[in-house]
């Protein structure tokens, strides 16, 4: 078999796996949206069948042979070629999948399924003690996973690799320490400001049917293609890109709070536009797949925050919003509304946090994850450590574990290494937006938004991010798109500038 | 390997196939209900992948070995045992699937996919000539299929076997000739009656949201379990039982015609209750699968017609219907409504036909299918033969092929042998209902219905039909449930009795 033949066969298998995995994505979407209650058991069997088949095909020793037959061949002489990029990422994924023993994969699935059930209950009843042994097991298995995969310096690096290939603990520590060092005093200043918004105007009657129409119109305006996707309602919002021509987003509506569904829809639309713009001809292969969790998150945060919480966006949409909700917003000014959606205040719950304090929530989790994984922090010490660090960062006492270390699902499903990608997303979003603004021209871009036009920004994202799939790792993609490595500065500058105006702080 | 071990492995494989096929069922349902327009290409790849995998697992030579290892063993000494029933049907399905060459399967898929597209267009433009070469190809391939499967007496028997195992052309001919001989004069009498209903009262304003609520309430009343299913809206109504705990039905609403959605929902609910009541522990094996297309159809027709177009049913539901549609039905009496939903008149279109003329539509198709397959009728002669026979049966001239031999999709997808199962369903429904009525007591059952109670009838169906899966072939199931082989008499008696009352004919 020639290298060309081996490569062609690898791509065929990769695309077949893409189709197989997209079947599971449809079933997972249905499970969250329309599946009747009693369908859960059968759905579990269906998902298990598809997952086992996918894993078996993915780790087939034949794949290893094919990879070997291509590597070192003339086919890869150009490191910038499609084949080189695809091979780099297929090798990475294959090695990772085959290094982890099947017994560990199964044990992780078993333990995390149970841990999620226990966590759900423990959060409801504020009972950390019941969750602790399960967290203990999850951590032990994740350490085994890190050992199996192999790592330099810190086992956390092996886990990070699943979400943010190429990023290291050392890099993250530096980014987070710079970010936290500047964010904490900024938040303190904001809290101390005598100028505070009236958040209650977002908590009036916003009929759900109108929220839906308004949010869908905004999604269309920024670029969601409803001929290639849908918006549905679920308990936990998400975006699922099945593949070319079919990407679905969900939200949840609160009839007494405007922001939840609307900014949620902008967020998921940002994810969806990335999926909708990946090159369809590469579907199922690395070149047709999103770069990393952090880059994916940058697309959602960019549209939700950088665009959707910006003044030019609302110059266009606010008159339409008032028409949609005439009684709730009758006497509300654009200034008051804009201030309300950009409120900053330390709060207990990550998912309800504003743009500034959000990253402090992540810094806390990153720090504790590192300590838990390395054994520097025991699960017995976790609640105390959480509460202590939380007070230091936010100036708030944590009243109970349900609103403290039990609030997030991630650790129960073994997602150690996942949290930092949220803040990476915020940083990438600010840095991408900063570059797009400078390249296109800040006035031109703001004028676009004021007219409800987003095509120029979309083109910039398509050209610099979406079309590349996994051609470059996240760090390299960032350097090529913005001319500089990832830095917390654009995010910090963006936040300082915005809050200087809205809160009159400097 | 012992016979026991081989049987256990066969059952494991059969159940795995059940799960695999149920994944495809979810995707097919999504395709009809919620899939965005541009998702069609990916969905095609997903379905092709799952179908190929299913076919490969189903026809694996290992299955043949396992079947051989069980057959003739002590395990099957009791012909009434679970194992005997499962083995009988697994052998039948395996032989059928492996006798048809893979090349023919692929050619059939290719030709019928194209034929369906052409048919759709040909029907729209009333252009039989464009469809004819495709029908010609389909017929040639179906003849090849019949030859590959093997048959006695008529190639049609080999095709019937796919829908109604064990039934023969000879049996069907006898049933249809008896049925037609009596139905034709009955319809003529009805048409000549001076008493005719006011059908226009069904064509008033029936707001869709209220139709939905009313139809769902009726579905719940007769026994659909919404915790294990859903009702959605599609262009073409259907029922899809994914497996235990998840069976979904669809309908289409016409805001200016009550009957379409309502009787459609009763029909699909009948199908769904069969699926919901199949023994869950046998899911994926013959004992957990529906007996035949005719028996499946009997369940939908029984609830739609025998129950849903009956007077006791409307004694209960009509007051509720008037409350739901107060303006449309203000001055309408129960008598007038009952007469309107039981109108009989010869019409051109099968799917709009009433209970009496419906079976004449099927008799026509059965006769022509037989002649086409055996070569006694050419595709060039089809439209003429259709129109001539139609006029003889219905006394109506067929104005064009779109409303004649082009009206149904079945021949374009290769469904030769499918049509007779509709009338088998009507006959089985009448015979089952007749037995249930006599066993339970006709007055007791009518009293149940007048109180909106259907539990006693449901139990009878569960006991006599649903719980058996494929334990017995349809003919044997009928003999056990009703004490007699299938006969057109109960259907004819039911129709004569009903129409004697509503049209004052005898």
Judge contact between B267 and B304, C-beta under 8 A.
yes
pLDDT value at residue A476: 97
Q: Is some CB atom of chain A closer than 8 A to the CB atom of B12?
A: no
- Examine the pLDDT at B506 and tell me if it is beyond 90: no
Residue A420: Cβ-neighbour burial (10 angstroms; 0-12, 13-18, 19+): buried
Count CA within 13 A, CB hemisphere, residue B318.
21
Residues of chain A contacting B36 with CB distance shorter than 8 Å:
226-230, 245-246, 248
Q: Which helix (H) or strand (E) holds A377?
A: none
Structure confidence at residue A171 as a pLDDT band (50, 70, 90) = very high
Using a CB–CB cutoff of 8 Å, tell me whether A209 touches chain B.
no
Rounded to 5°, the CA angle A52-A56-A60 comes to 175
- Which residues of chain A have a CB within 8 Å of the CB of B43? 246
pLDDT confidence band for B504 (50 / 70 / 90): confident
Question: Chain A closest CA to B213's CA: distance in Å?
Answer: 18
B434 within 8 A of B495, measured Cβ to Cβ: no
Assess whether pLDDT exceeds 90 at residue B405: yes
pLDDT (tens digit, 9 = 90+) per residue, A340-381? 999 999 999 999 999 999 999 999 999 999 999 999 999 999
CB contact under 8 A, A39 and B245: yes
At A470-493, the pLDDT tens digits run: 999 999 999 999 999 999 999 999
A173-220 tens-digit pLDDT: 999 999 999 999 999 999 999 999 999 999 999 999 999 999 999 999
Q: Are B358 and B144 contacting, i.e. CB atoms less than 8 angstroms apart?
A: no
Identity of the residue in B16, B34, B228 whose CB atom sits nearest the CB atom of A230: B34
pLDDT (tens digit per residue) in B327-341? 999 999 999 999 999
| Per-residue confidence (pLDDT) for residue B313, from 0 to 100 | 98
What share of chain A has pLDDT > 90, as a percent?
A: 98
Span A102-129, mean pLDDT? 94
Please write the tens of the pLDDT for every residue from B292-336: 999 999 999 999 999 999 999 999 999 999 999 999 999 999 999
Q: How far apart are CA B461 and CA B133, in angstroms?
A: 45
Which residue among B23, B40, B228 places its CB closest to the CB of A46? B23
pTM of the model: 0.95
Determine, for residues A42 and B244 on separate chains, whether the beta-carbon distance falls below 8 Å.
yes
Distance CA B481, CA B499 (A): 27
- Which of A268, A275, A297, A304 is catalytic? The answer is A268
Mean pLDDT of A493-500: 96
- Which residues of chain B neighbour A228 with C-beta distances below 8 Å? 36-39
Instruction: Quote the minimal CA–CA distance from B246 to chain A in Å.
Output: 5
Distance CA A118, CA A380 (A): 17
Cβ-contact A485, A477 below 8 angstroms: no
| Strand pairing report for B239-243 and B229-233 | unpaired
On whether the A202-347+424-471 domain is CATH 3.30.70.20, my answer is: no
Q: What is the mean pLDDT of residues A254-266?
A: 97
Average pLDDT over chain B, rounded to an integer: 96
Element (H, E) at B269: helix B258-277
d(CA A277, CA A257): 32
Contacts with A43 from chain B: Cβ below 8 Å: 246
pLDDT, one tens digit per residue, over A270-327 is 999 999 999 999 999 999 999 999 999 999 999 999 999 999 999 999 999 999 999 9
- Rounded Cα distance between B396 and B390, Å, is 7
Q: Measured between alpha carbons, how far is residue A315 from residues A136, A322, B427 in Å?
A: 51, 12, 68
Which residues share a beta bridge with B248? B230, B240
pLDDT at A506 over 80: no
In chain B, where are the structural domains located? 1-99, 204-342+427-503
**Residue A52: its chain B contacts at CB < 8 A?**
none
Inter-residue contact A410 to A346 (CB < 8 Å): no
Q: Which two tokens stand for residue A252?
A: 């949840």
Asked if B103 has any chain A CB less than 8 Å from its own CB, the reply is: no
Closest chain A residue to B51, measured at CA: A20
Is residue B304 annotated as part of the catalytic site, yes or no?
no
What pLDDT score was predicted for residue B138? 97
Summarize the confidence of residues B22-45 as an average pLDDT: 96
pLDDT tens digits, residue range B1-23?
999 999 999 999 999 999 999 99
Alpha carbon A4 to its chain centroid, in Å, reads: 36
pLDDT per residue as tens digits for the range A399-421: 999 999 999 999 999 999 999 99
Which CB contacts under 8 angstroms, 24+ apart, belong to A447-453?
A447/A312, A448/A312, A449/A307, A449/A310, A449/A312, A449/A313, A449/A315, A449/A316, A450/A312, A450/A315, A450/A316, A451/A316, A452/A221, A452/A316, A452/A317
Average pLDDT over residues A227-242: 96
Mean pLDDT over all residues of chain A?
96
CA distance B245 to chain A (A): 5
Pick the CATH number of B204-342+427-503 from 1.10.1370.30, 1.25.40.10, 1.10.110.30, 1.10.10.10: 1.10.1370.30
In this complex, is the C-beta atom of B224 within 8 Å of any C-beta atom belonging to chain A? no
> What is the CA angle B486-B487-B489, rounded to 5?
150
Task: Quote the DSSP letter at residue B235.
Answer: S
B246: DSSP letter? E
ipTM above 0.90, yes or no: yes
pLDDT for B127-145, tens place per residue?
Answer: 999 999 999 999 999 999 9
Residue A375 CB contacts under 8 Å (≥ 6 apart), including other chains = none
């Amino acid at each position: 078999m020639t290298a060309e033949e081996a490569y062609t066969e690898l791509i065929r298998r990769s695309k077949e796996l893409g189709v197989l995995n997209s079947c599971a994505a449809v079933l997972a979407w249905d499970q969250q949206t329309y599946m009747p209650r009693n369908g859960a058991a059968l759905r579990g069997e269906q998902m298990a069948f598809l997952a086992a088949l996918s894993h078996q095909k993915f780790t087939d020793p034949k794949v290893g042979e094919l990879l070997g037959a291509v590597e070192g061949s003339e086919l890869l002489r150009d490191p910038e070629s499609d084949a080189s990029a695809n091979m780099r990422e297929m090798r990475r994924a294959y090695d990772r999948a085959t290094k982890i023993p099947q017994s560990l994969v199964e044990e992780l699935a078993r333990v995390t399924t149970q841990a999620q059930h226990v966590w759900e209950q423990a959060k409801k009843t504020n009972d950390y003690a019941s969750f602790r042994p399960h967290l203990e097991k999850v951590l032990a298995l994740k350490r085994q996973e890190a050992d199996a995969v192999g790592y330099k310096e810190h086992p956390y690096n092996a886990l990070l690799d699943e979400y943010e290939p190429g990023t290291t603990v050392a890099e993250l520590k530096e980014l987070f320490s710079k970010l936290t060092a500047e964010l904490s005093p900024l938040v303190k200043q904001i809290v101390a400001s005598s100028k505070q918004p009236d958040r209650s105007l977002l908590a009036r009657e916003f009929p759900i049917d109108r929220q839906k129409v308004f949010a869908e119109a905004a999604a269309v305006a920024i670029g969601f293609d409803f001929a290639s996707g849908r918006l549905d309602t679920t308990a936990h919002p998400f975006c699922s890109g099945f593949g070319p021509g079919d990407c679905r987003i969900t939200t949840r509506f609160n009839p007494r709070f405007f922001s939840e569904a609307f900014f949620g829809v902008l967020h998921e639309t940002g994810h969806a536009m990335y999926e909708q713009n990946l090159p369809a001809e590469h579907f199922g292969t690395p070149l047709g797949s999103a770069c990393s969790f952090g880059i994916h998150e940058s697309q959602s945060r960019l549209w939700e925050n950088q665009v959707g919480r910006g003044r030019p966006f609302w110059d266009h949409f606010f008159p339409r919003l008032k028409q949609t909700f005439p009684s709730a917003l009758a006497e509300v000014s654009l200034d008051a509304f804009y201030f309300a959606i950009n409120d900053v205040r330390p709060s207990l719950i990550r998912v309800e946090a504003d743009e500034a304090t959000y990253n402090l929530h992540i810094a806390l989790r990153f720090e504790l994850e590192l300590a838990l994984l390395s054994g520097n922090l025991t699960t017995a010490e976790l609640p105390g450590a959480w509460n202590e660090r939380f007070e230091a960062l936010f100036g708030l006492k944590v009243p109970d574990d349900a609103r403290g270390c039990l609030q997030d699902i991630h650790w129960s499903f073994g997602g150690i290494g996942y949290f930092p990608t949220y803040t990476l997303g915020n940083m990438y979003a600010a840095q991408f937006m900063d570059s797009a603004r400078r390249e296109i021209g800040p006035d031109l871009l703001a004028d676009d938004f004021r007219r409800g036009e987003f095509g120029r920004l979309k083109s910039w994202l398509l050209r610099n991010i979406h079309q590349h799939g996994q051609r470059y790792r996240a760090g390299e993609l960032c350097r090529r798109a913005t001319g500089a490595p990832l830095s917390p500065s654009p995010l910090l500058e963006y936040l300082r500038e915005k809050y200087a105006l809205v809160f009159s702080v400097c």
